[in-house]
């Protein structure tokens, strides 16, 4: 079951790896925790925001396999 949070006075279902508020553009993880601004993404891993957002299309099994590499 997806976690639902409030952002900008609206419900936001956090059912993806990354969930974005359509009003203000704030990003949240699957557990409803607000993420750092996108310009800071990948600073430690070298990943781009586009690579990180592509994880939304992956299954849990694929994510775990990717993590093991």
Q: What are the structural domain ranges in the chain? A: 3-67
The pLDDT assigned to 68 comes to 61
The pLDDT assigned to 52 comes to 86
pLDDT digits over 9-50, tens only? 999 999 988 999 999 999 999 899 999 999 999 888 898 988
Q: Which residues of 37-57 are buried (b: 16+ CB within 10 A; e: fewer)?
A: ebeebeeeeeeeeeebbeeee
pTM of the predicted structure, to 2 decimals: 0.77
């Amino acid at each position: 079951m997806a976690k639902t949070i409030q952002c900008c006075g609206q419900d936001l279902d956090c059912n993806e790896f990354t969930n974005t508020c359509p009003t203000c553009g704030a990003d949240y993880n699957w557990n409803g925790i607000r993420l750092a601004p996108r310009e800071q993404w990948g600073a430690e891993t070298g990943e781009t925001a586009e690579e990180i957002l592509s994880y939304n299309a992956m299954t849990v099994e694929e994510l775990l396999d990717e993590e093991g590499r």
